[in-house]
Amino acid sequence: MLKTCIFPAAGYGTRFLPATKALPKEMLPILTKPLIHYGVDEALEAGMDNMGFITGRGKRALEDYFDISYELEHQISGTKKEYLLSEIRTLINRCSFTFTRQNEMKGLGDAILKGKILVGDEAFGVVLADDLCINEEGVGVMGQMVKIFEKYRCTIVAVMEIEKDQVGNYGIISGNEVEENLIMVNSMIEKPSIEEAPSNLAIIGRYILTPDIFGILENTKAGKGGEIQLTDALLAQATNGMVLAYKFQGKRFDCGSLDGFVEATNYFYKKNV
């Protein structure tokens, strides 16, 4: 029922310079798979097969990654190495991939708005590939959120508890529990100070958004950092309707930071050997 997943991927990835000077940060590999591949896997597992990317200048490698490389495939066809491409080949066959650009860096809210053309008038998923999520116990985070969406039919954001001194790095929510691990949001602030933070529940990069978010984003003024913040639009949606925050099952690696990236690499390496 939810067909489309949007991947905002226009950011510079300055924390990984100089590697990200000529390589999209979403293409940085955790072992042999780029970060974006993990995100697409998660969306597909959740039943979404229409993958929409909001890219920008210097991000063409993403388009090439989700396309067939005839020369390469011809070269390794019939050799021992052929299996190395089979996973991405299967993924390409199962999904469609569409790309549009955010030509100015005006924030996550603006990036999502640019995705309107890829979505149409229906609810959709959003994956921020920097946040690598896995659930060893079963269904992935987006799949868990789809189940909640099927019941409540409203916008859902994934949240996790963080250390209080980290609140300034995230959108922070608070509200009332409606079910175990499910909170009806009544307050939400993008990257608050410790004093301003309404809780220690941080939004991580998984969302299911109802399409009215586009109209709200069109009327959302620049907020924190002079950027159009998705968090501000979500607060308007929560105030006029309903937004649920879901404390997901599983583990999240902050692959937008060096520590998280190394942690994820070690984790997957240990799992593979």
**Stretch 157-186: interaction string toward ligand G1P, x if CB under 6 A:** -------------xx---------------
Binding-site size, ligand G1P (CB under 6 A): 13
Strand duo 201-209 + 155-161: pairing: antiparallel
**Stretch 92-121: interaction string toward ligand G1P, x if CB under 6 A:** ----------------x-------------
Choice between 88 and 167, CB closer to ligand G1P:
167
Single-letter amino acid, residue 211: P
User: If binding is defined by CB under 6 A, does position 62 make contact with ligand G1P?
Assistant: no
Candidate segments 47-55, 98-106, 203-211, 239-247, binder of ligand G1P by CB under 6 A: 203-211
Choice between 43 and 202, CB closer to ligand G1P:
202
- DSSP assignments along the chain, one per residue: ---EEEEE-----GGGTTGGGSS-GGG-EETTEEHHHHHHHHHHHTT--EEEEEE-TT-HHHHHHTS--HHHHHHHTTSTTGGGGHHHHHHHHH-EEEEEE--S---HHHHHHHTHHHH-SS-EEEE-TTEEEE-TTSS-HHHHHHHHHHHH-SEEEEEEE--GGGGGGSEEEEEEEEETTEEEEEEEEES--TTT-S-SEEEEEEEEE-THHHHHHHTPPP-GGGS--HHHHHHHHHHHS-EEEEE-SSEEEETTSHHHHHHHHHHHHHHH-
Q: Residues 155, 200, 231, 237: which binds ligand G1P (CB under 6 A)? A: 231
Q: Which of residues 234-263 bind ligand G1P (CB under 6 A)?
A: 256
Nearest Cα residue to 164 out of 203, 197, 188, 204: 197
Choice between 62 and 91, CB closer to ligand G1P:
62
User: If binding is defined by CB under 6 A, does position 203 make contact with ligand G1P?
Assistant: yes
Choice between 91 and 126, CB closer to ligand G1P:
126
Q: Residues 2, 48, 111, 128: which binds ligand G1P (CB under 6 A)? A: 128
User: If binding is defined by CB under 6 A, does position 26 make contact with ligand G1P?
Assistant: no
Q: Least distance to ligand G1P from the beta carbon of 204, Å?
A: 5
Candidate segments 30-38, 84-92, 197-205, 213-221, binder of ligand G1P by CB under 6 A: 197-205
**Residues lying near ligand G1P in the complex (CB under 6 A):** 108, 128, 131, 170-171, 190, 202-205, 230-231, 256
